[in-house]
């Protein structure tokens, strides 16, 4: 029997820190900038606790007659996604006293936990904030610590496993987004009558609602929810078809993450500008 005398290949050398010569650093920089700006703005809006509901602005201006004059001929029914579901309306005495906690601080915990534990988001901020690693084919700065790496099995990273439960909570948030979209299709006149219409704010809320829905229903956990714990798809063609559609959405899950994050912020900015009177909402009322 012939015996190979060829030398064994040498073990691969550790990657140098800067093996890549392209602009790989742009993605982590954009991730850090976007997430930090969103967190700062969201925190500011939560503590501001004002200018999030156009109908509350109507009440603050002495009712519909004066409120409609503030907005124009008709007052829009816009509610910021940062204050949805509207628990501030359900428990007014709790959230509108002088020492009240902003409802947004409580509400943002649900979409915040869903996004923070999202598989795509974890990939993005692990790379951008922890440089673990910062990009493909780029050596980790603290590579020596890798020997102590335990994955996501110990605190605090074990909390990432709560993502599947955060999914159930975000279903409620999505439902209320659609309810507030329907609400944004109506405008009140000085007599208190509601009229069907479409405004710039309505379109912004529509885009935000659609993109949030695409982000949630393209989620890896939702894909497992509709297609998991099933030995044979042939025994349930309906679930197979749903799973295939969710899988198609899942391929763009990262895109929907960023677009929905941006549009939820833009929706709040627009509603705040309208509520403060900085801009007038353009609308067509039928």
User: pLDDT tens, 148-174?
Assistant: 666 777 787 888 888 889 999 999 999
Among 27-31, 49-53, 108-112, 252-256, whose mean pLDDT is lowest?
Answer: 108-112
Question: Which pTM value belongs to this model?
Answer: 0.85
Banded pLDDT at 91 (limits 50, 70, 90): confident
- Least Cα distance to 26 among 138, 172, 111, 109 occurs for 138
Residue 115: how many CA atoms within 13 Å on its side-chain side? 22
Q: 38-75, pLDDT tens digit by residue?
A: 999 999 999 998 999 999 999 888 889 888 989 989 99
Whole-number CA gyration radius for the chain: 25
Is residue 127 within 8 A of residue 85, CB to CB? The reply is no
**What integer pLDDT is reported at residue 58 of this predicted model?**
92
Where are the chain's structural domains?
A: 26-141+155-285
């Amino acid at each position: 029997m012939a015996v190979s005398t060829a030398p064994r290949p040498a073990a691969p050398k550790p990657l140098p820190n800067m093996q890549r010569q392209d602009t790989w650093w742009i993605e982590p920089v954009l991730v850090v900038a976007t997430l930090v700006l969103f967190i700062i703005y969201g925190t500011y809006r939560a503590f501001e606790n004002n200018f999030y509901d156009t109908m509350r602005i109507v009440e603050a201006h002495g009712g519909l007659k004066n409120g409609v004059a503030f907005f124009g001929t008709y007052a829009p029914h816009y509610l910021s996604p940062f204050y949805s579901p509207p628990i501030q309306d359900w428990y007014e005495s709790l959230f509108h006293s002088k020492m009240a906690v902003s409802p947004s601080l409580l509400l943002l915990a649900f979409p915040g936990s869903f996004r923070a534990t999202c598989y795509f988001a974890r990939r993005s901020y692990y790379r951008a904030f922890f440089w673990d690693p910062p990009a493909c084919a780029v050596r980790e700065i603290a590579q020596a610590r890798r020997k102590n790496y335990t994955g996501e099995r110990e605190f605090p990273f074990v909390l990432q496993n709560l993502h599947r439960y955060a999914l159930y909570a975000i279903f409620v948030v999505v439902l209320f987004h659609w309810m507030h979209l329907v609400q944004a299709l109506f405008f009140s006149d000085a007599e208190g009558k509601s009229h069907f219409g479409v405004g710039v704010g309505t379109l912004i809320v529509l885009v935000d609602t659609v993109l949030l829905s695409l982000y949630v229903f393209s989620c890896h956990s939702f894909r497992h929810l509709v297609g998991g714990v099933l030995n044979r798809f042939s025994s349930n063609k309906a679930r197979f078809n749903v799973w295939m559609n969710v899988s198609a959405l899942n391929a763009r899950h990262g895109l929907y993450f960023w677009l929905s994050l941006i549009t939820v912020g833009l929706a709040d900015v627009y509603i705040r500008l309208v509520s403060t009177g900085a801009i007038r909402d353009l609308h067509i009322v039928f």
